[in-house]
Amino acid sequence: MPDIILLDIMMPEMNGIQVLEKLKSDTQTKNIPVLVLSNITESKYETRTLELGAEQYLIKSQYLPIDIVNIVKKRLLKIN
């Protein structure tokens, strides 16, 4: 099992909200921290993902890659 999941909203086949719903409804994956990383800025997506149990909703264009790495590292340190 992964220690953390970075999830985008726009994906082929299923969107990130559908994936998040499946992850959080499964007893084996519901406790894995999920960070949503997307360029969709509509607040309804952020609200929905947080309601479903995502820990954070990060808008890609507002962060440098190193910032995302640091956010993930900080979250992983909380786990271990």
Asked if residues 71 and 56 have their Cβ atoms less than 8 Å apart, the reply is yes
- Kind of pairing between the strands at 56-59 and 5-7: unpaired
pTM here is: 0.89
Q: pLDDT tens track of the chain, all 80 residues?
A: 999 999 999 998 999 999 999 999 999 999 999 999 999 999 999 999 999 999 999 999 999 999 999 999 999 988 65
Say how many C-beta atoms besides its own lie within 10 A of residue 62's C-beta.
9
Look at residue 80 in the predicted model and tell me its pLDDT: 58
The CATH number given to 5-79 is 3.40.50.2300
Q: pLDDT value at position 78?
A: 82
Q: What is the residue extent of each domain of the chain?
A: 5-79
- What's the token pair of residue 39? 């360029």
